[in-house]
Structure 1
Amino acid sequence: MALARTWSVALFGVDGLVVEIEADIGGGRPRTQIVGLPDASLNEAKERVRAAIRNSGEEWPTELVTLALSPAALPKGGSSYDLALACAVLTAGGRVPPDRLPGTAMIGELALDGRLRAVRGVLPGLLAARRAGLGRAIVPTSTLAEAALVTDLDVKGADHLHDVLVWLRGDRDALHDPSPDRTPPHQEIPDLSDVVGQTEARWALEVAAAGGHHLLLTGPPGTGKTMLAERLPGLLPPLTTEQSLEVTAIRSIAGTLTQESPLITVAPFVAPHHTTSISGLIGGGTGLAKPGVISQAHHGVLFMDEACEFGARHLESLRTAVEQGEIRLARRDGVCRYPAAFQLVLATNTCPCAPPREVDCTCSPHTRRRYLGRLSGPLLDRVDLRVRMRPVTALSAADRITPESSATVRARVIRARAKAATRWRPHGWLTNAQAPGPFLRREFALPRQATALLDRGLSTGAVTARGADRCLRVAWTLSDLADLDHPEADHVATALEFRDRRAA
Structure 2
Amino acid sequence: MVFTVRSFAVVGVDGVEVKVEVDAGRGLPGTVIVGLPDSAVKESKERVKAAIVNSGYPFPTKKIVVNLAPADVKKEGTLYDLPIALGILGSANLVFPEKLNDYIIAGELGLKGEVGRIKGILSAAILAKEKGFKGIIVPEGNVEEATLIDGIEVIPVKNLVEVVSFLNGDLEIEPAGKKEIDTKYEFEVDMSDIVGQYQAKRALEIAAAGHHNLFMIGPPGSGKTMLARRLPTIMPPMSEEEIVETTKIYSVAGLFSEIPVVKRPFRAPHSGASEVALIGGGASLKPGEVSLSHNGVLFLDEMAEFKRSALEALRQPLEDGFVTISRASGTVTFPANFSLVAASNPCPCGFRGFEDENHYCKCSPSQVKKYLGKISGPIMDRIDIHITVPAVKPEELKNKKTGETSEKIRERVISAHEIQKRRFEDLKINFNSQMGRREILQFCKLEGEAEELLNSAVKTLGLSARAYGRVLKLSRTIADLSGSDLITRVHIAEALSYRPVDLVN
TM range (shorter): over 0.9
Say if 1:476 and 1:112 are closer, same or farther in 2 by CA, change over 3 A: same
- What does 1:147-166 align with in structure 2 at a 5 Å threshold? 147-166=146-165
| Letter paired with 2:397 | A
Alignment check: 8 A CA contact 2:211 2:432 kept: yes
Alignment check: 8 A CA contact 2:183 2:237 kept: no
Q: Shift in Å at residue 365 of structure 1?
A: 2.2
Q: Distance in 1 between matches of 2:106 and 2:152?
A: 14
Alignment check: 8 A CA contact 2:268 2:298 kept: yes
Q: Distance in 2 between matches of 1:4 and 1:85?
A: 10
Q: Distance in 2 between matches of 1:444 and 1:180?
A: 42
1:332 aligns with 2:328: yes
- What does 1:102-501 align with in structure 2 at a 5 Å threshold? 102-173=101-172, 177=176, 183=182, 186-258=185-257, 262-286=259-283, 288-355=284-351, 358-359=355-356, 360-399=360-399, 401-441=401-441, 444-447=444-447, 449-460=449-460, 462-501=462-501
Q: Distance in 1 between matches of 2:164 and 2:207?
A: 54
SS in 2 for 1:426: coil
| Letter paired with 2:450 | A
* TM-score for the superposition, normalised by structure 2: 0.94
Q: Shift in Å at residue 472 of structure 1?
A: 0.6
Alignment check: 8 A CA contact 2:372 2:503 kept: yes
Unmatched segments (≥5 aa) in structure 1: none
| Letter paired with 1:284 | G
Q: Distance in 2 between matches of 1:181 and 1:278?
A: 37
The CA deviation string for residues 93-116 of structure 1, in whole angstroms up to 9 with x for no partner, is 101211221121111111122111
SS in 2 for 1:375: coil
Q: Distance in 2 between matches of 1:147 and 1:136?
A: 10
Q: Shift in Å at residue 502 of structure 1?
A: 4.4
Alignment check: 8 A CA contact 1:386 1:502 kept: no
Q: Distance in 2 between matches of 1:242 and 1:447?
A: 37
Q: Shift in Å at residue 175 of structure 1?
A: 6.8
Q: Distance in 1 between matches of 2:381 and 2:58?
A: 66
Aligned to 1:22: 21
SS in 1 for 2:383: coil
Q: Distance in 2 between matches of 1:350 and 1:35?
A: 56
The CA deviation string for residues 446-467 of structure 1, in whole angstroms up to 9 with x for no partner, is 3564222332333455221111
Comparing 168-177 with 467-476, greater Cα deviation is found at 168-177
Alignment check: 8 A CA contact 1:269 1:303 kept: yes
Say if 1:311 and 1:443 are closer, same or farther in 2 by CA, change over 3 A: same
Superposition RMSD on alpha carbons, in Å?
A: 2.0
Q: Shift in Å at residue 128 of structure 1?
A: 1.6
| Letter paired with 1:430 | N
Aligned to 2:87: 88
Q: Distance in 2 between matches of 1:10 and 1:448?
A: 57
Q: Distance in 1 between matches of 2:460 and 2:183?
A: 53
SS in 1 for 2:7: strand
Say if 1:173 and 1:185 are closer, same or farther in 2 by CA, change over 3 A: farther
| Letter paired with 2:478 | L
Q: Distance in 1 between matches of 2:180 and 2:10?
A: 28
Q: Distance in 2 between matches of 1:484 and 1:399?
A: 34
Q: Distance in 1 between matches of 2:492 and 2:478?
A: 9
Q: Shift in Å at residue 70 of structure 1?
A: 1.7
* TM-score for the superposition, normalised by structure 1: 0.94
Q: Distance in 1 between matches of 2:255 and 2:36?
A: 28
Q: Distance in 1 between matches of 2:391 and 2:182?
A: 42
| Letter paired with 2:387 | V
The CA deviation string for residues 263-283 of structure 1, in whole angstroms up to 9 with x for no partner, is 212211000000112111111
| Letter paired with 2:433 | A
Say if 1:43 and 1:232 are closer, same or farther in 2 by CA, change over 3 A: same
SS in 2 for 1:19: strand
Q: Distance in 2 between matches of 1:181 and 1:383?
A: 37
| Letter paired with 1:313 | S
Alignment check: 8 A CA contact 1:115 1:161 kept: yes
Alignment check: 8 A CA contact 1:167 1:175 kept: no
Q: Distance in 2 between matches of 1:35 and 1:144?
A: 30
Alignment check: 8 A CA contact 2:444 2:472 kept: no
- Identity rate of aligned residues, in percent? 38
SS in 1 for 2:424: helix
The CA deviation string for residues 135-155 of structure 1, in whole angstroms up to 9 with x for no partner, is 211111111111111111100
Q: Distance in 2 between matches of 1:33 and 1:276?
A: 39
| Letter paired with 2:311 | L
Alignment check: 8 A CA contact 1:295 1:340 kept: yes
Alignment check: 8 A CA contact 1:417 1:431 kept: yes
Alignment check: 8 A CA contact 1:217 1:388 kept: yes
Alignment check: 8 A CA contact 1:388 1:502 kept: no
| Letter paired with 1:406 | S
Say if 1:388 and 1:184 are closer, same or farther in 2 by CA, change over 3 A: closer
